[in-house]
Structure 1
Amino acid sequence: MLKIPNLFLKRGQLARREFLGYQQRIWQRFAEQDGQGRAQRYRRLPPIIPLVLYHGQPEWSVPLSLLDCIDADAELLAVQRGFGYQVRHLRPEESDARLSSDPVLRAGLRALAWAFVEHLDDAAVARLLRDLPEGHPLEQALLRYIARVYPTTEPAVYRALEITRPERAKELIMTVADEWVERGKKEGRQEGRQEGRREGEATLLLRMIKHKFGPQAAAAHQGRIEQADTETLLAWSDRILTAETVEELFR
């Protein structure tokens, strides 16, 4: 049972948005009461029926619904009813007409729609840039987004710039060069973490083999263990708990 605060109103001065604020905080408190199952609770919120206790002398004149405060015709109010929202799922294969007739908006929407496409050739990158007028304020932002998100290379973007902006290709590629440098650093750190984990698993497995089967067994299989990937090392580490011989471990 949720406890709803009593609202004693003076002079009938209460904006409907206060109710929405109270309801939002009550639902949030309900859904986030602990870390487990939070997403499921947000999909199964309890109903809230607001109740106002009013004891003022003038007649109550504040609208009872937020819809009564919205200045719109019946068609627009129907969209507002329930305070839901519309979803527009951007898909990579959509045509120009489907995205937008405005080239600037189309460029931005297509850049978002293609964010998870694994392979984009030079023509595809050039198509992204061609929709956006040269010198537009979003030009550099679009290039940085491509450099940061897309699985493409600096030469591919440069070739696309030579197709769409031949006189400014060198200038523009320099504005996003730092994005590739930063992406390279992140990829290097990720690879380093993965390699560090693999080496740690290999060291641990060798120690376990040495302890269970003796130092000669560990030395005999050290090269094989050091060359194995992380998934294989984890499988061997699980198997050593029940293996009776070192040969059974690697079988």
Structure 2
Amino acid sequence: MDGLRPKDPHDKFFKTIMADENNVRLFVKEFLPHDISKEIALEKMKLLPTEKLRRYRKYHMDLAVECEIGQKKGQLYFIFEHKSYPNRKVLLQILGYMYALWDEQERTSKPLTPIIPVVIYHGMHPWNIPTAFLSQFEGLKEPIKRYMPEFEYALVDLTTLSDEEIRRRAKDNAFLAESLRVMKYAPVQNIERIKATAGIIISPEQKMIIIEYLFQVLDVEEEAMYEIAQKSEVKKLCHLWRRSWKKEAKKGVS
């Protein structure tokens, strides 16, 4: 089935959800720590193109949101960590993005803006990466620490939130709630929990987005996937993927 799966289906899925700025506002308000969200002017938020910093193609820009942070223009930078194990490079990735943005602003004579990095995790193992950059350097004495870069990121670990908590925070946004639930269970291939998503009341287009993501990331038998699609009443996708599945199977035999 590898031929049917895009390179980064998790990133693509979350970016599709967050293409709606209402979803971004709700996520920031309800899933980020309150001491952060209360400082952000939610009504003034807008998505930024992640390919903006063309000089820094080596940096992976996941999702950036322009907003006011404490009455000053700034950015929220979202990193989506979906590996089966926590990625220790995440702090360097964040530092690299910060430098890239600030260097670009300095080069174009713009004032430097504050950045709040946010890591969303939904992998198979507990997230054990420190949130503070300085904590990577063990045994440093205070006189030395003052010369080291110091910042933290906000962690949203979906694996630690119950289904009820996710739905409560998402309020009446069923699509956001069930999308986050699906992201939570996809890495561990929890089919029974994922099947519970199939009957939610959302638009056919939103169902298509969720089911297509599941087809791309789940490693299960054809019949299990077909059952999920049928329960979601996405008949068009059922038939499309069944034909694709058979085509891939024939490739494997030849």
TM-score interval, smaller chain = 0.3 to 0.5
Which has the bigger relative contact order, CA under 8 A and spacing at least 6?
Answer: 2
State the TM-score, normalizing by the size of structure 2.
Answer: 0.36
More helix by percentage: 1
State the TM-score, normalizing by the size of structure 1.
Answer: 0.36
